[in-house]
């Protein structure tokens, strides 16, 4: 079934275009740097990621072999996107990586918001016994 394309952009961009800078989605910085370098354009990068707050937690589960491969591939990079099928266990891989990465949370949202998605995921995983908060 074909849908109408009237009034739809030809290119969908996920970057944020600001007056003095461009906000890029995660995972494309290396490619942008390479493109700018090829064009002899100097890139000025300012990392404004939220460092988060320490989270005292230990991973209580065990990664499946395919999750271990994905997690180790993610560890080789500073940023990235884990794209996997439904029921792969992306949240479990995320919690395993979070524990390794100095156990910090609040990177993707304001930790003061009670509806913070990451906090809700952490609570669900803790309820399932996969990650245990420690004092």
Asked if residue 114 has pLDDT above 50, the reply is: no
Rounded to whole angstroms, how far apart are CA atoms 5 and 56?
49
3-class SS string, 47-106: CCCCCCEECCEEECCCCCHHHHHHHHHHHCCCCCCCCCCCCCCHHHHHHHHHHHCCCEEC
Asked if residue 113 has pLDDT above 60, the reply is: no
pTM check: above 0.85 = no
Per-residue pLDDT of 42-94, as tens digits, reads: 988 887 766 666 666 777 888 999 999 999 888 887 777 788 999 999 988 98
Pair 27, 79: CB distance under 8 Å? yes
Residue 70, both tokens: 């994905």
Per-residue pLDDT of 29-38, as tens digits, reads: 888 889 999 9
In this structure, the chain runs to a length of: 135
Sequence spans of domains, the chain? 53-133
So what's the pLDDT on residue 4?
83
């Amino acid at each position: 079934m074909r849908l109408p394309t009237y009034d739809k952009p030809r290119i969908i961009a996920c970057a944020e275009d600001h007056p003095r800078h461009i906000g890029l989605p995660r995972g494309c910085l290396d490619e942008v740097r390479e493109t700018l370098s090829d064009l002899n354009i100097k890139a000025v990068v300012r990392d404004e990621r939220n460092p988060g707050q320490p989270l005292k937690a230990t991973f209580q589960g065990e990664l499946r072999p395919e999750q271990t491969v994905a997690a180790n591939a993610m560890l080789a990079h500073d940023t990235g996107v884990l794209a996997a099928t439904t029921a792969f266990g992306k949240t479990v891989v995320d919690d395993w990586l979070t524990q390794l990465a100095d156990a910090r949370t609040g990177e993707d949202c304001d930790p003061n918001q009670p509806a913070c998605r990451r906090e809700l995921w952490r609570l669900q995983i803790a309820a399932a016994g996969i990650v245990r908060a420690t004092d």
